[in-house]
Amino acid sequence: MADAPVAAAARVAVVAGATGLVGQAVLARLLADKAWSSVHAVGRRAPGQQHPKLVAHIARSFDDLALPPVDDVFIALGTTLKVAGSPQAFRAVDFDAVVRVARTARGAGATRLAVVSAMGADSQSRVLYNRVKGEMEEAVSQLGFDAVVIARPSLLAGDRASLMQESRSAETIALWAAALLKPFIPANYRPVQASQVAHALVNALKSARTGQRLLLSSDLH
């Protein structure tokens, strides 16, 4: 009589940026998925969710972040130059903090990484935002993870007010225009819901084995 198949052990995940548009959606999906036995959320404030699987780690910075043994890391940290106030402050979040979390998680045993980047990420770009995102992608890809999933969404849509985030007038106008012109906009340039990004990111990492996978906006819809 053949032995019964052995069920795969549930994994442990860490989420950075769980209070943001994409991060909170990623956290909700992980908490609802039996593939993960526990989820550690790290950030400057507690996530607005409660769950038996959830462990919150509140830290003013990621410089001295300490993590228990983990398997997977999801990073949805990001800001804008306007909100950050300076190129240095922007880079401190979108590059330094992201790489620091990824490196800490790798040191805690994580073998798979999923990170939210942005459309147009390019380490050689003359545009600061795109250049920093591209440099971040290159840096985290060199940390030794078995599998890396990078999402490059276009304009993100979601309920920022419910997360107590400042409304962005330019973003609101762009989303309104995109809704009118949707049939004429290529898939990679259409706005994408934060929940769609989270869904695609979690599913891609869940099935990842080895290597790097890039998710463009057309893959996220």
pLDDT tens, position by position, 148-182: 999 999 888 766 455 445 555 555 544 444 455 46
Q: What is the pLDDT at residue 49?
A: 85
Bigger pLDDT: 129 vs 180 = 129
pLDDT tens, position by position, 71-93: 999 999 999 888 899 999 999 99
pLDDT tens, position by position, 170-217: 555 444 444 554 665 566 667 888 999 999 999 999 999 899 999 998
Q: Are 53 and 36 spatial neighbours (Cβ–Cβ below 8 Å)?
A: yes
Residue 185 makes CB contacts below 8 A (sequence gap 6+) with: 178
DSSP state of 192: E
CA 173 → CA 30, 155, 177, 220, distances in Å?
32, 11, 6, 22
Place of tokens 């045993």: 109
pLDDT above 70 covers what percent of the chain?
Answer: 82
What distance in Å separates the CA atoms of residue 113 and residue 16, rounded to the nearest whole number? Answer: 11
For 201-219, b/e burial (b = at least 16 CB within 10 A) is bbebbbebeeeeeebbbeb
Contacts of range 86-91, beta carbons closer than 8 Å, 24 or more positions apart: 87/128, 90/128, 90/129, 90/132, 91/132
What distance in Å separates the CA atoms of residue 72 and residue 58, rounded to the nearest whole number? Answer: 19
pLDDT surpasses 60 at 16: yes
Task: Give the highest mean pLDDT range of 20-34, 53-67, 185-199.
Answer: 20-34
Write down the domain spans for the chain.
11-220
CATH number, span 11-220: 3.40.50.720
Bigger pLDDT: 112 vs 161 = 112
